[in-house]
Structure 1
């Protein structure tokens, strides 16, 4: 039974099997919550933790009259989840500030992506939006300098990312893992383009992203994408890299962005069409509207229904999922999406990259063994 539908005035008995999506829909809309049994709250609490939504739910419920009606056990669990997220966020925010300051001192612009940007832009506090790592964007021409700055702070590039820039031609990011004891295994993914699939490296003009970037709230020296770009990136990242992951946290990101009064829907639709992201945008918005009652303007829905789409857009979905066989499928679909000389360039790059597969595998395994030998495994953050 959907919790929104169940919140009918004639309802007398508390619900025993609440819907997490319905609960979130009521929470984001500010609607009254129906009564729940203690067992239902326990079930709901477990689902909130599974979907990384407990900090957000706590922050929303704590400020309402409904907080006092929640069973003590459920209140304690939500409070503990928020406190743990706050401590983790304090640690991460402190490190992020140092990273940004180090890059800024070298005149390297840095833009926050994904959770680090969302927590500042569409949530009341970064603690409401848990993250595991930092996704940072730098201009393509300053990636080598950024890698050197981060290496000085203890972040080790994984694989052969110390090679010349040609290796990065059809890649979008470099993973760096911190090897200093106090920040052991903290991950930074250093991006130089927005979407992590080969076709989109040239399809999305990175200069346009920087031209509309905004200062990051509460973090001097850093930037965040404009809301339209952040919405498209949120939709694309989940569709391409987590297509089978049903966590509602990512759908809540879309909901929070879509509810922003400052969101320029015309920019969203124009960029989606120009960048080949209309299919993923339409799919994620439809899911958010169906599950979270996300308010999508009717004019936007109509334009999406009529918008032309490239034949390969649907085949891009799931190409970034870490599953057997996806590497070869990604190469084939990307090659099909390219046209003319770009196909030749991409095929040549794939051939050169294949020569590095063995040495890169060896380097990665050596790095993993060294990490396991010389330092303890610490719990992940987020």
Structure 2
């Protein structure tokens, strides 16, 4: 069973971030936040934690609404204000470019579906600046990919081949085109034809997604929006499997706010069936459980019993919850520990072997990052030879424990 979670037992800095990790505060939450800001707080620790968790704008929003300027150190408040201003400018640039791009795609008769940040901040978040995003993600049908690419090029976008050459981005390797950047604007666009890369073997029903999509508008342009069940399932998968369990608070905020927004529309039975078809039920249940424990989601509690997969190990909830909280204090770390979480959730021997292979032999670009070498260095070949032995020494006992005892146990 998962260990009992007690909010009051957390460090004050963690409680501060969790209280602010939402769009709106209830009267009780507002009072709790006011009391918490009067406690001795390591504000520098809270600030660095908010940065790592991706919730600086929400922290600033609630502190400013609370009128905490007299309590929060001036340097911390100034830093938060600066980051908020940067996000506002970034959002303005992205919205302007999204308007241009969506207009061009509409003129070319290309149906388009915004994904992740762009879609959420227009439909879920009342203030777009509360939901920063690094790029613009768009889903188009496979037969329209080249038309969408031509539209990008006509608007002045250039392919970013930092990680792979343009020709590498094809269905055998990727689920989107080469990223495109607009020189001088710091805007990146990814055009997707699927929701997940082929390496994760996620049987998402893309044609069904288009069939169920809802007509809408974004920046005054016609778009298609994910049906609520598809949106929530995609967000939980993105927070777990697709991010290799680098799950941070901002992922859970998206899940919680989407659930609250569509509380009266979500068909939980339909969602459970779709999750089973996508082989994503364990990820859906796990992320909803963790989000409920950390951010309080009474909207999901009645449905959780029906969503729970057969044989689900409750200790995974504790492991992921602790991992999310630890992200506030961890420097960016090696992905292999995240592969362990994916390995624990893999259900077949084939899935487990794929996870191990990806951990031992990542892409050349990732190897260059891990070993601080240029991606063209010949020395990388030697590191590919020694890496399996390095990982065996460092994580072998954890993999053995997961394989033989079938219980989550992480370093």
Which residue number corresponds to residue 304 of structure 2? Answer: 301
> 1:148 & 1:27 partners in 2: Cα distance?
38
Which residue number corresponds to residue 177 of structure 2? Answer: 174
Which residue number corresponds to residue 224 of structure 1? Answer: 225
Which residue number corresponds to residue 143 of structure 1? Answer: 145
Q: Match of 1:63, SS?
A: helix
TM-score w.r.t. structure 2 length?
A: 0.65
Which residue number corresponds to residue 113 of structure 2? Answer: 111
Q: Match of 1:135, SS?
A: strand
Which residue number corresponds to residue 193 of structure 2? Answer: 192
Which residue number corresponds to residue 35 of structure 1? Answer: 36
> 2:184 & 2:198 partners in 1: Cα distance?
33
Moved more, 167-176 or 244-253: 167-176
Structure 1 residues not aligned, in runs of 5+: 8-14, 310-316, 338-356, 359-367, 370-382
Which residue number corresponds to residue 238 of structure 1? Answer: 239
Pairwise CA distance, 1:176: 2.1
Which residue number corresponds to residue 83 of structure 2? Answer: 81
Matches for 1:282-321 after TM superposition, within 5 Å: 282-305=285-308
Of 120, 123, 141, which residue of structure 2 is paired with 1:121? Answer: 123
**Structure 1 vs Structure 2 CA RMSD:** 3.8
The answer to whether the aligner puts 1:63 opposite 2:58 as a matched pair is no
Q: Deviations over 1:255-308 (max 9, x none)?
A: 111222344133322211221110110111111112222224333111122558
Seen in structure 2, the aligned counterparts of structure 1 residues 160 and 300 have a Cα distance that, compared at 3 Å, is same
Q: Match of 1:221, SS?
A: strand
> 2:239 & 2:12 partners in 1: Cα distance?
31
Seen in structure 2, the aligned counterparts of structure 1 residues 65 and 99 have a Cα distance that, compared at 3 Å, is same
Moved more, 69-78 or 106-115: 69-78
Q: Match of 2:219, SS?
A: coil
Q: Match of 2:231, SS?
A: helix
Which residue number corresponds to residue 278 of structure 1? Answer: 281
Moved more, 113-122 or 64-73: 64-73
Moved more, 64-73 or 286-295: 64-73
Kindly indicate whether the alpha-carbon contact (under 8 Å) linking 1:156 and 1:176 is maintained by their aligned counterparts in 2. Answer: yes
Q: Deviations over 1:219-249 (max 9, x none)?
A: 4123331222121111112322323424211
Of 88, 101, 104, which residue of structure 2 is paired with 1:102? Answer: 104
Which residue number corresponds to residue 47 of structure 1? Answer: 49
Structure 2 residues not aligned, in runs of 5+: 313-319, 321-333, 352-362, 365-374, 377-411
The answer to whether the aligner puts 1:23 opposite 2:12 as a matched pair is no
Matches for 1:264-275 after TM superposition, within 5 Å: 264=266, 265-275=268-278
Kindly indicate whether the alpha-carbon contact (under 8 Å) linking 1:4 and 1:22 is maintained by their aligned counterparts in 2. Answer: no
> 1:162 & 1:259 partners in 2: Cα distance?
41
> 2:68 & 2:257 partners in 1: Cα distance?
22
Pairwise CA distance, 1:128: 0.8
Seen in structure 2, the aligned counterparts of structure 1 residues 335 and 177 have a Cα distance that, compared at 3 Å, is farther
Q: Match of 1:35, SS?
A: helix
Q: Deviations over 1:73-122 (max 9, x none)?
A: 44333322222210111111111111111111101111111111122222
Seen in structure 2, the aligned counterparts of structure 1 residues 26 and 124 have a Cα distance that, compared at 3 Å, is closer
Kindly indicate whether the alpha-carbon contact (under 8 Å) linking 2:12 and 2:41 is maintained by their aligned counterparts in 1. Answer: yes
Kindly indicate whether the alpha-carbon contact (under 8 Å) linking 2:240 and 2:246 is maintained by their aligned counterparts in 1. Answer: no
> 1:254 & 1:16 partners in 2: Cα distance?
24
> 2:44 & 2:111 partners in 1: Cα distance?
45
Kindly indicate whether the alpha-carbon contact (under 8 Å) linking 2:240 and 2:247 is maintained by their aligned counterparts in 1. Answer: no
Q: Match of 2:240, SS?
A: helix
Moved more, 144-153 or 72-81: 72-81
Kindly indicate whether the alpha-carbon contact (under 8 Å) linking 1:51 and 1:249 is maintained by their aligned counterparts in 2. Answer: yes
> 2:238 & 2:299 partners in 1: Cα distance?
20
Which residue number corresponds to residue 210 of structure 2? Answer: 210
Which residue number corresponds to residue 343 of structure 1? Answer: none
Q: Match of 1:190, SS?
A: strand
Seen in structure 2, the aligned counterparts of structure 1 residues 75 and 221 have a Cα distance that, compared at 3 Å, is same
Kindly indicate whether the alpha-carbon contact (under 8 Å) linking 1:251 and 1:288 is maintained by their aligned counterparts in 2. Answer: yes
